Chains A and B, each alone.
Chain A
């Protein structure tokens, strides 16, 4: 066993990626300061120099376009947004260009760009420093979207992301940065599609992603003590979604709760819920349930914040309800 934290696993992946592939460089606001990106980029500036670690002006739209142009002409940029909230500034280059460029040009202009989007919330940071925007990137065609929930997947998916040729959104939640798992030292890849069954059960299925997998794991433990056997699925990739694993589980349990760290309307839960309602309707013993953020911006003050974010307790209650009512 070699336990490593999520953020250290990302850092290790970057060291290995940049050492083995000279085309890779990092670009973004604050990439050379721990103040923005924690320890995920520690040591890279000293090792690879300023030409491969470009800390930029706060020009999100401009640097996104610049990253696209570099990707288009043979390099492998990794563009970091230390807070997803600031990606709204870059919407044109993200959605009108990164996502579309190769398509509209008949497949002649691939854009192998990895965009790291970091969810950074809690701590009374308020509405513009708290957002989880995965649903936007799922909605617009053109991106692969991954949300690794643990250190092992984070390293392996990052290494896989840089090796492929499509624009990809790699979403990290800073609440996961201390999460530890067994991470091999040598480089490896984890497929960029495909959900994982985290724990098996027969009474209900929970589908979660990113940080909510951690909360769901705690809920699963707590429910086990009450003799409720929950099957927990970690989506890992939210686009494309692995239908097969979700449907197979619902076939077994007949009950589905989707837990999403983003807002309720039009989110991951809506999409997974549709898939199961459409393709697994005959297996359902109860209406599909979801837990997501309320359709409201995040508040600041601590008690308001506490009420805003669902926890393992919210999940436990919802599962008990799901089982007892039907």
Chain B
């Protein structure tokens, strides 16, 4: 099968901008976390931006996305409202979850971003339930995308869900962001077969393992799979090999802690997805250094607006009633 093809340059520009937005957003959150202006735990997506950005470039607003504790990238890529996200991370009333969720529980239903959970693998079956709705009432025309890490594939509920989705040919794309670690523990200390796609293909669904730092490949592969999923051909799994640059949680790097080596981090930083795509678009003459700088400035301004919005929003007050809502 041919999953190659040439992504439209306009689409790639859009992906570049999304990746840049995620990167700069996360770096800004890291700064604020270091200064304790952000108090809730933050699991940052730096280094993995290509996956959310390229997969979501194939989605319509009504398509569903479900996410994890490392939620900001997916939320931004699905075009969730940036101000509400920043406010939620600040625990503010104007946050997307009104300050009841924090960084790990974010939502923007209007954008089709249906929520995230702090429990590993928690939203995978929920995403399949959204796919069931599409199967039962929308003739598979809406796809549901579950983003999760390789750690989630250690959980039993992942296999229960893949089996059910395969059995009913549900319109769901499982996107495994394989960053090689489940918090501190590397894949080979957890899994008898570290290749997620190999384990899952026995459920008789389409599975692919690709370079998770190459947004062009991810875009093309997910486009090909989503087209078939929406035709009712059943679920698929895309395993994207990547690496998170920062700690499991927080703004630090966790260098030389356990199995995480400084040289590995350096190695993966050379495979920066943003630099990669920028270079491709430069080479194709689609974007100049000047245009890139303008794009970056625009994104920075948008993030600063979100920061001011968050900072100016009041903290939610505890209600006197026992009921929260």
Checking A59, A68, A108 against B129 with a beta-carbon cut-off of 8 angstroms, the contacting residue is: A68
* B114-159 with Cβ < 8 A to chain A: 114-115, 117, 119, 122-134, 136-137, 144, 156-157
Whether B129 and A96, one on each chain, are in contact in the complex, defined by CB atoms closer than 8 angstroms, is no
Checking A69, A77, A103, A109 against B125 with a beta-carbon cut-off of 8 angstroms, the contacting residue is: A69
Known: A51-B136, A69-B133. A105 touches B97 (CB 8 A): yes
Chain A residues, Cβ within 8 Å of B97: 104-106, 108
CA distance A96 to B122 in the complex (A): 8
B324 within 8 A of A: yes
- In the complex, what's the smallest C-beta–C-beta distance from B215 to chain A, in angstroms? 28
**Using a Cβ–Cβ cut-off of 8 Å, how many residues does chain A contribute to the interface with B?**
33
CA distance A290 to B56 in the complex (A): 57
Instruction: Give A residues with C-beta under 8 Å from B.
Output: 25, 51, 56-57, 59, 61-75, 77, 92-93, 96-97, 101, 103-109
**Using a Cβ–Cβ cut-off of 8 Å, how many residues does chain B contribute to the interface with A?**
42
Whether B107 and A72, one on each chain, are in contact in the complex, defined by CB atoms closer than 8 angstroms, is no
Whether A72 and B163, one on each chain, are in contact in the complex, defined by CB atoms closer than 8 angstroms, is no
Checking B100, B137, B164 against A103 with a beta-carbon cut-off of 8 angstroms, the contacting residue is: B100
Contact with A along B50-76 (1 / 0, CB 8 A): 000000000000001010000000000
Whether A65 and B128, one on each chain, are in contact in the complex, defined by CB atoms closer than 8 angstroms, is yes
Chain A residues, Cβ within 8 Å of B16: none
Known: A57-B160, A61-B156, A75-B136. A104 touches B130 (CB 8 A): no
Chain A residues, Cβ within 8 Å of B117: 96-97, 101
Whether A107 and B98, one on each chain, are in contact in the complex, defined by CB atoms closer than 8 angstroms, is yes
Chain B residues, Cβ within 8 Å of A92: 119, 122, 157
Whether A62 and B137, one on each chain, are in contact in the complex, defined by CB atoms closer than 8 angstroms, is no
B273 within 8 A of A: no
Whether B105 and A104, one on each chain, are in contact in the complex, defined by CB atoms closer than 8 angstroms, is yes
B234 within 8 A of A: no
Whether A97 and B130, one on each chain, are in contact in the complex, defined by CB atoms closer than 8 angstroms, is no
Checking B114, B119, B133, B324 against A96 with a beta-carbon cut-off of 8 angstroms, the contacting residue is: B119
Known: A103-B324, A106-B107. A62 touches B126 (CB 8 A): no
Whether B127 and A69, one on each chain, are in contact in the complex, defined by CB atoms closer than 8 angstroms, is yes
Of B95, B101, B107, B133, the most chain A CB neighbours within 10 A belong to B133
Whether A65 and B157, one on each chain, are in contact in the complex, defined by CB atoms closer than 8 angstroms, is yes
Chain A residues, Cβ within 8 Å of B136: 25, 51, 70, 75
Checking B96, B106, B125 against A66 with a beta-carbon cut-off of 8 angstroms, the contacting residue is: B125
- In the complex, what's the smallest C-beta–C-beta distance from A143 to chain B, in angstroms? 13
Whether B96 and A71, one on each chain, are in contact in the complex, defined by CB atoms closer than 8 angstroms, is no
B7 within 8 A of A: no
Of B64, B125, B136, B167, the most chain A CB neighbours within 10 A belong to B125
- In the complex, what's the smallest C-beta–C-beta distance from B171 to chain A, in angstroms? 12
Whether A62 and B161, one on each chain, are in contact in the complex, defined by CB atoms closer than 8 angstroms, is yes
Checking B95, B137, B163 against A74 with a beta-carbon cut-off of 8 angstroms, the contacting residue is: B137
Closest 3 CB pairs of A and B: A69-B129, A65-B125, A62-B160
Chain A residues, Cβ within 8 Å of B119: 92, 96-97
Whether B129 and A65, one on each chain, are in contact in the complex, defined by CB atoms closer than 8 angstroms, is yes
- In the complex, what's the smallest C-beta–C-beta distance from B154 to chain A, in angstroms? 14
Known: A96-B117, A105-B105. A66 touches B129 (CB 8 A): yes
Whether A66 and B164, one on each chain, are in contact in the complex, defined by CB atoms closer than 8 angstroms, is yes
CA distance A74 to B131 in the complex (A): 12
CA distance A108 to B111 in the complex (A): 12
Of A62, A64, A75, A93, the most chain B CB neighbours within 10 A belong to A62
Checking A57, A71, A97, A108 against B109 with a beta-carbon cut-off of 8 angstroms, the contacting residue is: A108
CA distance A70 to B114 in the complex (A): 12
- In the complex, what's the smallest C-beta–C-beta distance from B40 to chain A, in angstroms? 12
CA distance A64 to B134 in the complex (A): 17
Could you give 8 example pairs across A and B, Cβ below 8 Å?
A57-B160, A57-B164, A61-B157, A63-B164, A69-B129, A73-B133, A101-B115, A106-B99
